[in-house]
A and B are shown apart, each in its own frame.
Chain A
Amino acid sequence: MKIAIRNGRVIDPANGVDRVCDVFIAAGKIAAIGDAPSDWHSNKEINAQGLVVAPGLVDLAVHVKRGTLASELAAAAAGGVTSIVCPPDTDPVLDEPGLVDMLRMRANAQHGAHVYPLGALTKELGGSQLAELSKLAHAGCIGFSQADSPIVDTQALWRAMQYATTFGFAVWLRPEDHFLSREGSAHDGEVSSRLGLNGIPAFSETIAISRIVQIAKALGTRVHLSKLSTALGVEMVRAAKADGVNLTADVSIHQLHLTDVDIGHYDANYRLTPPLRTGRDRDALIEGVRDGSIDCIVSDHTPRPLEQKQVPFGEAAVGASAVELLLSLTLRFAESAKISLADALAAIGARAARTAGLPAGTLSVGVAADVCVFDPTAYRHITAASLKSAGKNTPFLGYELPGVVRATIAGGHLAHEANA
């Protein structure tokens, strides 16, 4: 399949490209940017006049459960996302090589986004017995994680990080103290006190960061911290990086837009993990993205059936469906935070790919053709029906958001196309 994308504004932050030109795709790879290769004949032409042509988005946190892979990959494609990292809290947990093989096989059959699994660091994410990391890595896991189940026992955390470090595996951890967060459903502060919700203090995150960073520093572990949520957490990450710790971090797009005040009248779509925090925390997270202390933005896509959200706030399942909104929400964030379009796209593209060590996020000639063509000026109305994901649980229902994806190409395959 030969595809030509004509007259779009090509923005490729990794290569410093931002100009109007054509992009040519052949044999699943980027064949040329600018002038057509000799003897070019397109099978497919995409008119990108007035549109942005960017590397397909790289989303480092997309949770998929059994039976939802097809709908969620369709959602990713509709959102311009062509590479996803899948945490191990699937059902069953990704703690055996056979399960990883099966996930990759099923994903490949969909011809959508590339799926990069994270293996479970411990068996069943139980936090005690190590999973077979080498075998899991051989099966294609790009790193090891506990998803949202922090290791309680610090001795076990130390040993798991030691073992991973032995083989140079990256460890992805969401910093959270189990005991401080287990009963909570909202940030511990004025809002939780007013609403009578059990609080999760900010130091639930920072105590965990301290623990992880100190071990990582002693061992030289390659650590990625998932979903920062606090101002002090950003500061600690910044300091650890300056100290030479081999550390990266991401933030969920929700934390860059929302605070605990937005919970309003107990809207369970705002029940997230980590919880939405204060305006001060949000401002610090925004600054962290701007100065690079936070390496990239993730959707933390967590589709949930309606019945798990139509319950009282404290009983609701955590998470939001977001992979289709990542681009729009990042554009909106960039606009309000006064971040350039190229930098914003890098945070969900090249920077994310570099963080995870993925061959993605650029339009360099010869790489796999992962491309997102979108209209940055068009707006979309977010409704349950407008989402391809099985999960309609998003705080942004009813919003008008900028950025409409016109075409998504994953590995040279046209995964999504929507006409104006």
Chain B
Amino acid sequence: MLSKRNLQLNEHGELHHLLAIEGLPKRILERILDTAESFVGVNEREVKVVPLLRGKSIFNIFFENSTRTRTTFEIAAKRLSADVVSLDVARSSTSKGESILDTIANLTAMHADMFVIRHASSGAPYLIAQHAAPHVHVVNAGDGRHEHPTQGLLDVFTIRKYKKEFNNLTVAVVGDILHSRVARSQIHALTTLGVPEIRVVGPQTLLPTEIERLGVRVFTSLDEGLKGVDVVTMLRLQNERMNGALLPSASEYFSRYGLTPQRLALAKPDAIVLHPGPMNRGVEIDSMVADGRQSVILPQVTYGIAVRMAVMAILAGATR
């Protein structure tokens, strides 16, 4: 739907940047998932390092703070033997007035091979990719409320681990869809991989306008939305959304949209529960569910390393 050249692929149709799941063909998603599969074994070994990216320099540039995501990218890069530098730009250059592109130009001059970018503004990684030197790869680690492609990939990786196939699944994505980059990435990944029914569940204030155009069914009742689903993704509700024009209070939200064991019972008995973290226990999810047998929240974190290793290795051309 978006016009203009696909920035993410090179002239041979190979992945050059990972900016969004939207627009990526199924074969590329599957290749990432298959490659990640091979790295799961590496992460379970005693020596958890492979030499695929030896000599490569990866810069994690976080214009917006996120210790968790930054850490998983760091671990992934180190397990591929890359040299990795993490910069918390939120606290340094740009607060002194330096533009994003100047920051990037300076780091490129230090012979960067890959940038992992987190930014509060939707589209910032596109700006960087459009101005990056041709050999430099850009990975979007979350831009505004647009996409968080590696999170979407690790979600579908986790789903594939537990459910094997995509073409017979019903998936519900619950909560603050409006502000969620995770939701957008996950929805695009699931539609591309052939999931026949994707539901979004939330109050109208947390649903983006015309979200059904992304190929999802819209539910405003959690009970209705959960009926018969195979997978439930609970989204984090950020503190600043809880008391204001969007929602009256965290407790009222929980009363309508919190995932309790009783509600989860409406889903299929073998349904799994995902959450991109960090969780607000008692706001969007009951601890009984978060820690229950259907929760795959911790495996998601583990698989996140393998998926990020796969993305970096493929971008650097180290897996051919």
Residues of A within 8 A of B22 (CB): 194
User: A314 touching B123 by the CB < 8 A rule?
Assistant: yes
CA–CA, A193 and B1, complex, Å: 13
Contact partner of B121 among A262, A307, A315, CB < 8 A?
A: A315
Is the CB of B110 closer than 8 A to any CB of chain A? Answer: no
Is the CB of B163 closer than 8 A to any CB of chain A? Answer: no
For this complex, 30 residue pairs linking A to B, each with C-beta atoms less than 8 Å apart, are A188-B209, A189-B209, A190-B1, A192-B209, A193-B210, A193-B211, A194-B2, A194-B184, A195-B122, A195-B123, A195-B146, A196-B122, A196-B144, A199-B209, A201-B209, A261-B3, A264-B4, A265-B4, A266-B126, A266-B127, A267-B4, A310-B101, A310-B131, A311-B127, A312-B119, A312-B121, A312-B123, A312-B143, A313-B122, A315-B121
CA–CA, A307 and B123, complex, Å: 16
Residues of A within 8 A of B50 (CB): none
- Which residues of A (308-352) have their CB < 8 Å from a CB of B? 310-315
User: A193 touching B214 by the CB < 8 A rule?
Assistant: yes
Contact partner of A196 among B1, B3, B7, B143, CB < 8 A?
A: B143
Per the CB 8 Å criterion, the residue count for chain A at the interface is 24
Contact partner of A307 among B99, B131, B213, CB < 8 A?
A: B99
Closest to A186 in B: B122
B210 CB, min distance to chain A CBs, angstroms: 4
CA–CA, A266 and B101, complex, Å: 15
**Taking A189-B209, A265-B130 as contacts, is the C-beta distance between A311 and B100 under 8 angstroms?**
yes
Is the CB of A197 closer than 8 A to any CB of chain B? Answer: yes
CA–CA, A358 and B146, complex, Å: 47
**Taking A261-B3, A264-B4 as contacts, is the C-beta distance between A196 and B119 under 8 angstroms?**
no
Contact indicator per residue, chain A 264-294, by CB within 8 Å of chain B (1) or not (0): 1111000000000000000000000000000
Residues of B within 8 A of A190 (CB): 1, 209-210, 213
Residues of A within 8 A of B122 (CB): 195-197, 266, 312-314
Residues of A within 8 A of B130 (CB): 265
Closest to B208 in A: A193
Closest to A268 in B: B127
CA–CA, A213 and B99, complex, Å: 43
- For B1, B121, B131, B147, the residue with the greatest tally of chain A CB atoms inside 10 Å of its CB is B121
Residues of A within 8 A of B210 (CB): 189-190, 193
Residues of B within 8 A of A265 (CB): 2, 4, 7, 123, 126, 130
A51 CB, min distance to chain B CBs, angstroms: 35
Residues of B within 8 A of A313 (CB): 121-123
Per the CB 8 Å criterion, the residue count for chain B at the interface is 31
Residues of B within 8 A of A266 (CB): 122-123, 126-127
Contact indicator per residue, chain A 7-18, by CB within 8 Å of chain B (1) or not (0): 000000000000
**Taking A194-B214, A313-B121, A314-B121 as contacts, is the C-beta distance between A261 and B1 under 8 angstroms?**
yes
Residues of A within 8 A of B131 (CB): 310
CA–CA, A152 and B146, complex, Å: 30
Residues of A within 8 A of B4 (CB): 264-265, 267
CA–CA, A119 and B191, complex, Å: 54
B102 CB, min distance to chain A CBs, angstroms: 10
A130 CB, min distance to chain B CBs, angstroms: 32
User: A193 touching B213 by the CB < 8 A rule?
Assistant: yes
**Taking A195-B123, A196-B147, A196-B184 as contacts, is the C-beta distance between A261 and B209 under 8 angstroms?**
no
Nearest 6 Cβ contacts at the A-B interface? A266-B123, A196-B146, A312-B121, A193-B208, A196-B145, A196-B122
CA–CA, A264 and B19, complex, Å: 14
CA–CA, A261 and B4, complex, Å: 10
Contact indicator per residue, chain A 191-208, by CB within 8 Å of chain B (1) or not (0): 011111101010000000
Residues of B within 8 A of A314 (CB): 121-123, 144
CA–CA, A199 and B100, complex, Å: 24
Known: A190-B213, A193-B211. 11 other contacts (CB 8 A): A192-B208, A193-B208, A193-B214, A194-B184, A194-B214, A195-B2, A196-B181, A201-B209, A264-B2, A310-B99, A314-B144
CA–CA, A190 and B100, complex, Å: 28
Contact indicator per residue, chain B 109-124, by CB within 8 Å of chain A (1) or not (0): 0000000000101111
A171 CB, min distance to chain B CBs, angstroms: 31
CA–CA, A386 and B101, complex, Å: 25
B189 CB, min distance to chain A CBs, angstroms: 14
CA–CA, A312 and B121, complex, Å: 6
CA–CA, A336 and B131, complex, Å: 34
Residues of B within 8 A of A264 (CB): 2-4
- For A197, A266, A310, the residue with the greatest tally of chain B CB atoms inside 10 Å of its CB is A266
- Which residues of A (365-382) have their CB < 8 Å from a CB of B? none
- For A196, A267, A311, the residue with the greatest tally of chain B CB atoms inside 10 Å of its CB is A196
CA–CA, A223 and B143, complex, Å: 42
B4 CB, min distance to chain A CBs, angstroms: 4
CA–CA, A313 and B99, complex, Å: 14
User: A311 touching B208 by the CB < 8 A rule?
Assistant: no
User: A312 touching B2 by the CB < 8 A rule?
Assistant: no
- For B4, B99, B119, B209, the residue with the greatest tally of chain A CB atoms inside 10 Å of its CB is B209
Closest to B123 in A: A266
Closest to B63 in A: A312
CA–CA, A193 and B177, complex, Å: 10
A188 CB, min distance to chain B CBs, angstroms: 5
Contact indicator per residue, chain B 124-144, by CB within 8 Å of chain A (1) or not (0): 101100110000000000011
CA–CA, A194 and B23, complex, Å: 12
Residues of B within 8 A of A310 (CB): 99, 101, 127, 131
- For A188, A264, A265, the residue with the greatest tally of chain B CB atoms inside 10 Å of its CB is A265
Residues of B within 8 A of A315 (CB): 121
Residues of B within 8 A of A262 (CB): 3
